[in-house]
Structure 1
Amino acid sequence: MSSSSDNVIMASLDNALIQLNRYLAVFILLFGVIGNILNIFVLSQRKLRINTCAWLFLISSIVNIIALIFGLITRILSTWSLDVTATIGWTCKLRAFILFNSRTIAFWLITLASIDRCLLSSRHIYYRQMSTLQNAQRGFIVIVLISTIVFIHLVYCYDANQINSPLKCYGISTSCRLYSDLTFAFITVIIPLVLMSVFGLITISNVFQIKKRIYPAEKFDGKIIHKISFPTRKTDQQLLVMLCIQIILLGIFTVPLVIQRLYTTITMNAVKSALQNKIDNFLYNFLFLLYSIANGMPFYIYTLTGGSTFRNALFKLLFPNKQKIVG
């Protein structure tokens, strides 16, 4: 391929990236912030707020708003050359630290929710008793502390005005980029997703075992009968469905960026053409936007899959004097 053709393709990629950051990023930001704000109002209602899993969803919605704001506003501003994180060092460090931290905390809160559902579905009362709001709050504090320790290196490693990188605000050295990419891949995404999947499968297994279990005989109207099922409460069942759908979609929207960053890390010392570097940078930025959808989608997942529990709470919020939704 000729050099002139390469230049045309690179110019097209630059233009496409500007359009994505200018329009798609705005849509994701509005779509996500509005959805998470509605989540906060709905999940703050007393009936849901006292439920451990719902409380974790509530806090994750707050953290998701932070991730969306710090992740997307600078990208939108960059299309008009107004992104201060690209040129001012301390703003770059602050953005990187808050963005990585908030995304990690949001992911691990959903992991905690999957562990909570697993505990609540256990046949052993000891494990069910561990599913408490106090334990969830303790777990949240531990996650914040560990995430802060893991990503504190960004205060040193990230700086503005970087060259040969996907963003101007990026790692200052090969070792910094390697460590940042690996911690993001494994601490932020891969390990939480694996844990979510494992505990999700255990929960589903527990639910099936509960439904098949035969309980001691009871008398009814002079006849001996057997209880053959022990269904969990409707709210807990619907929260489990919401959680499972969210785990699947989190994997779909986040794993591609992890793969791309791992590829970048593995090939960081390889000799690449200007066109290949441009393609890699475009993919990174596009997949970053795709990842941001994961921070903005919870409200829409809960509305579609949360059954009457979530929709009634939303309906009550929007129309306090109307009759609740049935079903």
Structure 2
Amino acid sequence: MSSINDVIVQINSAATTTILVLGFTNFILGAIGLVFNLIIFTRPSLNREPCSVYFFWSTCFSLFVVYIIVPLRILSNNFNIDMTNSNLGICKIENFANYSSRAIPCWLILLACLDRYFHSSSNVNIRRLSSLKVARWSIPILSLIIMILYSHMLVYYEIYYTTNQSGNIIGTCSPQKGIYRAFIGFWYMILYSLCPSLLMLLFGLLTLNNVRQHRRVVPTISGNNQILRRTDNQLLRMLIAQVLVIMIATLPYSINQLYSSFTANITKSTLRIAQESFATRVLGSMTSFAHTTSFYFYTLTGTIFRKEFHKIIQRCFHKNQNREPSLHRETNAIGNIHSNRKLLISHINYPSKQ
């Protein structure tokens, strides 16, 4: 019996260490990369593309995940600092914000997939749907819809009090027991991972099919049209990379949530509970990679994105290089002014004799 307890302690310790490492890794990756995303997607070469607008706002919501949700999870999982377990209002609001802020970026990437599909279509009426006007309307509408679809969490999340191994009464912020607890597992999997991922895959394949058909009809392009086509292809590669990351990072956790819902009423040993808790906590932390790694994959797959990043770095580097010469020139100019002033004063005090 003592050996089982030792194994459980080791599992819990490994989970705590793994989550801490993943949490800090996600925070560092996102804090640096997402800021560069915001700067690059506002550059003139990209901000005229509807797809870039979706990327930009997906980055904005991912910033909320990185700077708010990830630190809160680190404090909760590793340092037992969690207000959700003692305050019902915070319990409801934090879980609602956590789920909705993670889902919105995924659905915005789906809108980017739709935009590429519209843009590559041979039908003129469908191509018109790929526009900045459509993007600026669809982003707030989609965000509002996702928040409404998760609004039930503000009602059905409660604090449940249990006695731990030390005999202390502790609170846990959880969904209501019964049907809703099984429902939230399905809902999370469908709305966060499965549905957007499958739709991304579908429209990605349709877009590639449109591109292949268009190349057969118009094999060669020249001038400005060739530059635009190259930009479109690069945005498509960036989009495919982002879709793959979202699917890899979110699907395992969604499957685990579904498994937990199916086995909620099964009697489990303490060892099995510890193992399942380890899987849930680690896979939950890995979902943050869907929100923190976009900059690095955009840099690897998009030449135009990489060029804009190089321009920003070079501009900062040249500013630092030119700062010292400019200060030197300003110092010389000030010295010349002082010397001219002294010469003028000497002429005034001692005028030359006629």
Q: Deviations over 1:135-168 (max 9, x none)?
A: 112221221121111111111222345659xx93
Distance in 1 (CA, whole Å) between partners of 2:306 and 2:128 is: 28
Which residue number corresponds to residue 133 of structure 1?
132
Which residue number corresponds to residue 79 of structure 2?
80
Which residue number corresponds to residue 89 of structure 1?
88
> Contact between 1:189 and 1:258, CA under 8 Å: does it hold in 2?
yes
1:92 maps to amino acid: C
Secondary structure of 1:168's counterpart equals strand
Distance in 2 (CA, whole Å) between partners of 1:71 and 1:270 is: 31
> Contact between 1:70 and 1:95, CA under 8 Å: does it hold in 2?
no
| TM-score (norm. length: structure 1) | 0.88
Among 248, 251, 254, the residue aligned to 1:252: 248
Among 302, 307, 318, the residue aligned to 2:313: 318
For the aligned residues, what is the CA RMSD?
A: 2.0
Which residue number corresponds to residue 205 of structure 2?
201
> Contact between 1:29 and 1:72, CA under 8 Å: does it hold in 2?
yes
Secondary structure of 1:271's counterpart equals coil
Which residue number corresponds to residue 188 of structure 1?
192
Which residue number corresponds to residue 220 of structure 1?
none
Give 1:176 deviation, angstroms.
2.6
1:38 maps to amino acid: F
Distance in 2 (CA, whole Å) between partners of 1:89 and 1:30 is: 31
Whichever of the two has the greater Rg, that structure is: 2
Give 1:293 deviation, angstroms.
0.9
Give 1:68 deviation, angstroms.
2.6
Distance 1:68 1:173, change over 3 A: farther
Distance 1:287 1:302, change over 3 A: same
Matched, 1:156 2:160: no
1:123 maps to amino acid: S
| TM-score (norm. length: structure 2) | 0.81
2:305 maps to amino acid: F
Which residue number corresponds to residue 38 of structure 2?
40
Which residue number corresponds to residue 284 of structure 2?
288
Q: Deviations over 1:47-104 (max 9, x none)?
A: 2122100110010011011123343212221322222223222222111111111111
Secondary structure of 2:172's counterpart equals coil
Among 179, 182, 189, the residue aligned to 2:183: 179
Identify the range of structure 1 (84-93 vs 291-300) with the bigger mean alpha-carbon deviation: 84-93
> Contact between 1:52 and 1:136, CA under 8 Å: does it hold in 2?
yes
Q: Deviations over 1:178-202 (max 9, x none)?
A: 2221111001111111111111001
Secondary structure of 2:137's counterpart equals helix
Among 198, 211, 214, the residue aligned to 1:210: 214
Which residue number corresponds to residue 119 of structure 2?
120
Distance 1:162 1:253, change over 3 A: farther
Q: Deviations over 1:208-244 (max 9, x none)?
A: 1111115xxxxxxxxxxxxx34566211110000101
Which residue number corresponds to residue 229 of structure 2?
233
Which residue number corresponds to residue 217 of structure 1?
none
Secondary structure of 1:45's counterpart equals coil
Q: How many residues align?
A: 305
Give 1:321 deviation, angstroms.
7.6
Distance in 2 (CA, whole Å) between partners of 1:152 and 1:174 is: 19
Secondary structure of 1:169's counterpart equals strand
Distance 1:70 1:159, change over 3 A: farther
Distance 1:17 1:53, change over 3 A: same
Which residue number corresponds to residue 20 of structure 2?
22
Secondary structure of 1:249's counterpart equals helix
> Contact between 1:212 and 1:229, CA under 8 Å: does it hold in 2?
no
Distance 1:281 1:70, change over 3 A: farther
Structure 2 stretches of 5 or more lacking a match? 164-170, 319-354
2:240 maps to amino acid: C
Distance in 1 (CA, whole Å) between partners of 2:162 and 2:34 is: 35
Identify the range of structure 1 (81-90 vs 250-259) with the bigger mean alpha-carbon deviation: 81-90
Distance 1:66 1:38, change over 3 A: same
Which residue number corresponds to residue 225 of structure 1?
none
Q: Deviations over 1:248-289 (max 9, x none)?
A: 121111110011000001111111112111111111110011
Give 1:116 deviation, angstroms.
0.3
2:61 maps to amino acid: V
Distance 1:174 1:281, change over 3 A: farther
Secondary structure of 1:24's counterpart equals helix
> Contact between 2:34 and 2:295, CA under 8 Å: does it hold in 1?
yes
Which residue number corresponds to residue 223 of structure 1?
none
